[in-house]
A and B are shown apart, each in its own frame.
Chain A
Amino acid sequence: MVIKMRKRCCSERTQTLMCIAVSAAVVATFLVLAVPYWLKGDFFGAVATGLIALFLLVGLFWFIKRERQRMKERLPKDDEMSRRVKEKAGYYAFLASIWTTLGLMWYAGTGVEEFGFPAILPRHVAALALAIVAVLWALFWAYFHHRGVE
């Protein structure tokens, strides 16, 4: 059976290093964002941003440990199961993102006008929707990664 392999843009090692570099940049950004909150005396904002950075940092260390082990074993970075888990997580995260967006639209419109909920800025709505989708994707990925794909 002859299977044509998909061409990749770069080596797996480079891809992993790029992934680590981007994640490290995101962690650093969150840490930098925590400073103005702290200086303004917004303790909650600083702690929340710091906690996100810490959460991402723990994830980054876990990822690095896992990838080092994989490279040592000379096993591929991706295979059909890992791709299927990602696809499934993406599918459910997409569905959830539709409901999240609808929920946020309802909140920003009816919720604020009819029920007197605190107003929310449009840029915050967009950021919140993106963050929720990212978190949902990670949760779905962890779920399917743990449960397996049947």
Chain B
Amino acid sequence: MKTRIKELREKSGLTQEDLARKVGVRRETVIYLEKGRYNPSLKLAHDVARALGTKIDDLFIFED
């Protein structure tokens, strides 16, 4: 799974720390999310999407 979290976060002018604070997780979690090394819960995906002003569908790229 690939994500566009880093791209969208940078576009929003947020740091990893800012995003972590906005969604209430540790900074490490944001790092792992960006690297696609953590599958978040639906709630966290929803919170991240909302913090970045986008939809969940736009955050993740699923590969077959």
Q: Which residues of A contact B (CB under 8 A)?
A: 1, 3, 70, 73-76, 78-82, 147-150
Q: What's the A-B contact tally at a CB cutoff of 8 Å? A: 51
Knowing A80-B44, A81-B25, A81-B29, the reply to whether A148 touches B17 (Cβ < 8 A) is: no
Per-residue interface assignment for chain B, residues 11 to 33, with 1 indicating a CB less than 8 Å from any chain A CB and 0 otherwise:
00000010011001111110010
**With A1-B43, A1-B46, A82-B29 as contacts: A76 and B35 at CB distance below 8 Å:** no
- Among all A-B residue pairs, the 5 with the closest Cβ atoms: A148-B37, A79-B25, A81-B29, A148-B32, A148-B38
Please report whether the interface of chain A is mostly helix, strand, loop or mixed according to DSSP: loop
Residue of B nearest to A150 (CB): B39
- SS class, residues of chain B in contact with chain A: helix
For B, the interface residue count at a CB cutoff of 8 angstroms equals 20
Which B positions have Cβ atoms within 8 angstroms of A?
Answer: 1, 17, 20-21, 24-29, 32, 35, 37-41, 43-44, 46
Across the interface, which residues of B come within 8 angstroms of A148, CB to CB? 32, 35, 37-38
